[in-house]
Amino acid sequence: MDNLRGAALMVLSMACFALTDTFVKLLSADLPPGEILAIMGVGGAAAMALILALRGEAPLTSEMLRGAVALRSAFDAGASLSFFFALSLIPLSLMTTILQANPLLVTLGAAVFLAEPVGWRRWTAIAIGLVGVLIVLRPWDEAFQLAALFAVAGVVFQSARDLSTRWVVARVNSLQISVTGFLALIPTGLLAMAVTGSPPAMPDGRAMLWIVCMIGVAIPAYYSVVVAMRIGDVSFVAPFRYTRIVFGLLAGMLVFGETLDGYTLFGAMVIVASGLYTFLREARLRRRGLNESHGGV
């Protein structure tokens, strides 16, 4: 396994995802979130389909439109829609911080819905991480932003998407999964526009530039994370997902002039520390299981 290259690709992917969020937030000043979502779906699906076609693989098969792949696409669409609304209403730094709860929720979901064993140490880490989310949200304070619940809904959908990925059959590769995920954004975005009564807006020159940049960084973001998880050990590569919070907080401060208060910084540290402990604990248990299995041979 090429762990160093996998880690570098994961960091690149997280930087690109943070840039994608930045361009989405810039676009939200000119276009409704549903329209941005639909545009992202068209551009992303077309790009991923082209990559697959160049590799001689089918961009779309009947198997990709049903079962676990369809379920994953539905969760992916729900996550994207929630995040797009969040980006149009709350600071980028706040959304990025809440998003770091994903690994904790995936572990929680795996224990509840997939009956995976989770010991008291990881349950404690999950509970502490969720307390960190509450610290960031501050529902007891006048600074609480109701729109931040869009980000919470988004990370729940995102975690459900990651869990449902485990049920996707091996013959459907990761790039094909990405195509269906992007395609699901198109009707989701159009439906959001219809429900909210948002008429489509014609992008001006500046908005067109943001659109090109958004799609341009989204493609390497998705592709890099796929390659990273394939060429490196998951236990080594996955923790580098947390670099996204660094890029997201920097973008919030440098591009949008956001300021970070003590609650957000402390909550972010609690969430990240809990998630890193969960990653390390899972890796240790996995190694122990492998050693015991080899010892029994």
List the domain boundaries for the chain. Answer: 92-144+261-297
pLDDT for residue 297: 44
Q: What average pLDDT score do residues 249-256 get? A: 91
Write the single-letter amino acid at 118.
V
Q: What average pLDDT score do residues 206-211 get? A: 92
* Structural contact between residues 42 and 179, judged by C-beta atoms closer than 8 angstroms: no
The neighbour count for residue 121, using CB atoms within 10 Å, is 12
Q: 3-state SS string over 202-255?
A: CCCHHHHHHHHHHHHHHHHHHHHHHHHHHHCCHHHHHHHHHHHHHHHHHHHHHH
pTM, full prediction = 0.82
* Structural contact between residues 239 and 8, judged by C-beta atoms closer than 8 angstroms: no
What angle separates helix 120-137 from helix 92-99, to the nearest 10 degrees?
170
Each residue of 6-21: pLDDT tens digit? 889 889 989 999 999 9
Each residue of 159-184: pLDDT tens digit? 888 788 777 766 777 778 888 888 88
Instruction: Say if residue 1's pLDDT is above 90.
Output: no
Residue 151: band (very low, low, confident or very high) from pLDDT cuts 50, 70, 90: very high
Instruction: Say if residue 152's pLDDT is above 70.
Output: yes
Instruction: Say if residue 292's pLDDT is above 50.
Output: yes
pLDDT for residue 293: 56
Non-local (6+) Cβ contacts of 76 within 8 A are: 157, 158, 161, 181, 184, 185
